Structure 1
Amino acid sequence: MDEQRAQAIANSPDMKHVTYEGTPIYIQHVDTENSTARIYPLDQPEQEQSVSVDSLEEH
């Protein structure tokens, strides 16, 4: 996924189907300087992590 799309999904009021390593996730924030996204699994909101935007996949 590219940074612009990740940012659009993060800012969207609608839930999009996005995964990280096969796990459905929620994008909290996109850091365009570092090309990373702050995410968490939908079923484990306490498991926040920063990952490369390139590793996110939209379905």
Structure 2
Amino acid sequence: MDAQRAKAIFDSPEMIAVKLEGKPVWIEHVDVDNGMATVQVGSDPLDTQTVKIDRLEEK
């Protein structure tokens, strides 16, 4: 995924499925300039990771 698409998903009022290494995630923040995103893994709001946006897949 590219940074602009990640930002569009983050800004969208719709729920768009995104995965990180096959696991469902929610995008919580997108840093377009650095190509990074903070995501919540699964349903645990305390399980967050900051990852390169190109590791995210839209499903």
TM-score of the superposition, structure 2-length normalised?
A: 0.92
Q: CA RMSD in A?
A: 0.8
Which position in structure 2 is the counterpart of 1:40? 40
Q: Does 1:31 align with 2:31?
A: yes
Which position in structure 2 is the counterpart of 1:10? 10
Deviations 1:6-56 (A, max 9, x none): 000001111101000111000011101210001011311111110000000
Counterpart of 2:7 in 1: which secondary structure?
Answer: helix
Would you say how many aligned residue pairs link Structure 1 and Structure 2?
59
Mapped partners of 2:42, 2:22: distance in 1: 12
Runs of 4+ in structure 1 displaced over 3 angstroms?
A: none
Counterpart of 1:6 in 2: which secondary structure?
Answer: helix
- % same residue: 46
AA aligned to 1:21 is E
Mapped partners of 1:50, 1:6: distance in 2: 13
Structure 1 stretches lacking a partner, 5+ long: none
